[in-house]
Amino acid sequence: MTKVSMTVNGKPASGEAEGRTLLSSFLREELELTGTHVGCDTSQCGACVVHVNGVAVKSCTMLAIEAEGAEVATIEGQAAADGTLNTVQQAFQDHHGLQCGFCTPGMVMSATALLKDNPKPSEQEIREYLEGNLCRCTGYHNIVKAIMAASGQDVSAIAAE
């Protein structure tokens, strides 16, 4: 076991990790940040996406010890302290961009990373960017719509709410 320290959602955090411990497991089991979900074991589903030093990363593809000293942002750090949702989160609620909620943390973190690099993505750019995030509930319709809305685009012409 090795002691690993990092900054998570702006606060110092540390815990014990084996060499093989994945960042996703470390966040969930050691730091008890269970908002980051694990939906597969082949780095395909994207439910575990977090930001490491400002970059979207599937936390199951990274060892915990590789995040030593890093700035990590997870879904738990996205809303204001009083629970007020940020723009992306609010758009997901407003446009029913989630159902069971399991893929949602990864979707929100991916969408946030996309909008940082591309503030007004087209529908196609959003769909292509989400290639690494699987959702089984929504058929993606309302997720794509929510992300367009979060970027300030008028989505009223897109088929029914």
Partner 1 sequence: MPKDSGIGASPKRREDQRFLTGNGNYTDDINLRGQAYVHFLRSDVAHGRITSIDTTAASAMPGVVRIFTGDDFEGVGGIPCGWQITDKHGEVMQEPAHPVLAQGKVRYVGDAIAAVVAETADQARDAAEAIELDIEELPAVINMKEAVKEGATKVHDDLTSNLCYDWGFVEENKPAVEEAFANAAHVTTLELVNNRLIANPMEPRVAVGDFNRSTGDSTLYTTSQNPHVIRLLMGAFVLGIPEHKLRVIAPDVGGGFGTKIFHYAEEAFCTFAAKALNRAVKWTSSRSEAFITDAHGRDHVSTIQLALDADNNFTALRTDTYANMGAYLSTFAPSVPTWLHGTLMAGNYKTPLIYVNVKAVFTNTVPVDAYRGAGRPEATYQLERVVDKAARELGVDPIALRRQNFITEFPYATPVAVEYDTGDYNATMDKLEEIADLKGFAARRAASEAKGKGRGLGVNCYIEACGIAPSNLVGQLGARAGLYESATVRVNATGGLVVMTGSHSHGQGHETSFPQVIADMIGIDESMVEIVHGDTANTPMGMGTYGSRSLAVGGSAMVRATEKIIAKAKKIAAHLMEAAEADIELKDGAFSVAGTDKSVAWGDVTLAAYVPHNYPLEDIEPGLEETAFYDPANFTYPSGAYACEVELDPETGKVSIERFAAADDFGNIVNPMIVDGQVHGGIGQGIGQALLEAAIYNEDGQLLSASYMDYAMPRADDLPFYQVDHSCQTPCTHNPLGVKGCGEAGAIGSPPAVVNAVVDALQSMGKDITHVDMPLSPARVWTAMNE
Interacting residues with partner 1 between 114 and 133 (CB under 8 A): 123-124, 126-128, 130-131, 133
Give the one residue of 34, 53, 118, 122 binding partner 1; rule: CB under 8 A.
Answer: 34
- Helical H runs in 26-86? none
Stretch that binds partner 1, among 51-59, 62-70, 93-101, 114-122 (CB under 8 A): 93-101
Task: Look at residues 160, 70, 65, 56 and name the one whose alpha carbon lies nearest to residue 116.
Answer: 56
> b/e string for 86-118 if b means 16 or more Cβ within 10 A?
eebbebbebbebbeeebbbbbbbbbbbbbbeee
Binding site for partner 1 (CB under 8 A): 18, 20, 28-29, 33-42, 44-45, 47, 74-76, 78-79, 83, 85, 89, 92-94, 96, 98-105, 108, 123-124, 126-128, 130-131, 133-145, 158-161
